[in-house]
Chain A
Amino acid sequence: MNPSVDALRAQFGPAIGRAAVVCGDTIAYVDAGRSADVLRWLKETPGQQYNYLVDITAVEYRDPERPIELVYELFSLERHAQLRIKAELAKDRLEVDSVVPLWAGANWLEREVYDMFGISFRGHPDLRRILMWETYAEGYPLRKDFPLRGRFSRAEQVRQALGGATEAHYSMEELSVAESYHELPEDVRQRLTRGKPGPVPDEPEPGAEAEKP
């Protein structure tokens, strides 16, 4: 058993549920309402330092009464220690605090969990579908009540796929770069004009230009 579990119990008390070791990996269940606090503590406390968020995913079990488990896989690069944190979410309240403020890399991971399971993350800066297109209307594909072939007929699926504007896959910010070209900072505009990456060299002054033979 990873000693971090005892440290968690000492710090958070009843917010920490059962814990187990499975295949050599320590799993600790935490209260979903406190999960963001627990993860922040695990990341920032000296001696814990779980600074690498390996993955966020979720599990739904076949038993309809059983809650959906949200899984955070943590790793400490300093201490080479692993810890898996699970939070149980009732199916009628699939909501949890986002950890994007802690790990910027959680952004796409949480979007994927939202896309596939329908769990919404409070405070996520950009919670959109990431694998399916944004206008996808058939539900959350990895849920157990989702039919393998989707809910719509194949013709309807093809029609929606072909009819949905390809541009709908991008956010307004991503699309607005071209339209708001004139609003971009001067150096960015220069770079886009020349089609070169990296900083743009200073323009030679008119006087310096004239001195050249």
Chain B
Amino acid sequence: MGLNQPIERAPAVQAVASMSPNWVTTRLDFLVNWARSNSLWPMPFGTACCAIEFMATAASRFDIARFGAERMAYSPRQADVLLCAGRLPFKLAPVIRRIYDQMTQPKWVISMGACASSGGIFDNYAMVQGIDTVVPVDVYVPGCPPRPEGLLYGILLLQKKVRGETIADPTLRVERPLDGDGLRLPPAMVDELSEPFGNSIHQTRSA
């Protein structure tokens, strides 16, 4: 019945025999995503020990350049990926939000480490419980701090996500400003995301 046959898919890049060998045809999506995913310029937002691990990832041993992400953009206007490496205090929340707003589309966000993703061990009055309450996040990298291999895997996952996008879908690139409440998410969802979990639920001595 043909079920065992591999699915016929047009190869992404084809050389056209009838034309000059200098010509290839491809899908526009493939070409755009190939270019985007292999030159993800990170905007390092390093606030804590995860930033040290990120520096190790960028240095020669782990060599983030193998994946085309070695060009740190210290201006948000030239960056593709906002890489939040470390905990985010409430005092820095408007800063990272402004940096995210200043980045040009297309843009993605990697939340590196337990603190950026969930508040980590800092379940206290001063710390944002997960940067996804402030900016949308594409890839969460767990770890405290993550090993460089973990961060590289996160970048590979982001590349995979980018390769799955299509320029025909304009909703992917829509800017979503803060709502009337001044929040990115409904207040109930922010509260739910910030709920303590794990060992953290026992840390209510003074509450």
Contact = CB atoms under 8 A, between A and B. Distances in A.
A23 interface: no
Nearest to A152: B125
Contacts, number: 77
B207 A155 contact: no
Contact of B206 (A148, A154, A164): A148
Interface string A151-192: 001111111111110100100000000000000000000000
Contacts of A133: 90-91
A115 B176 CA distance: 35
Contacts of A153: 187, 191
Given A141-B126, A154-B129, A148 B207 contact: yes
A154 B190 CA distance: 7
A138 B124 CA distance: 13
A147 interface: yes
Contacts of A154: 129, 133, 190-191, 193-194
A18 B194 CA distance: 47
A162 B123 contact: no
A149 B182 contact: no
A162 B94 contact: yes
Interface residues of B, number: 31
> Chain B at the A interface: mostly helix, strand, loop or mixed?
loop
A61 interface: no
B91 A161 contact: yes
B97 interface: yes
Best-surrounded residue of A146, A147, A154, A160 (most CB of chain B within 10 A): A154
Contacts of B90: 133, 157-158, 160-161
A161 B94 contact: yes
Contacts of B128: 158, 161
9 contacts: A132-B126, A138-B125, A141-B125, A144-B206, A148-B123, A148-B207, A154-B194, A155-B188, A164-B94
A101 interface: no
A105 interface: no
A206 B178 CA distance: 56
Interface string B114-130: 00000000011110110
B61 interface: no
A66 to B, nearest CB: 16
A72 to B, nearest CB: 26
A144 B94 CA distance: 29
A146 B206 contact: yes
A166 B91 CA distance: 9
Contacts of B35: none
B93 A149 contact: no
Given A138-B125, A147-B206, A166-B98, A158 B93 contact: yes
A159 B187 contact: yes
Contacts of A144: 206
Contacts of B207: 147-149
Given A155-B188, A161-B93, A149 B134 contact: no
Interface string B124-167: 11101100011000000000000000000000000000000000
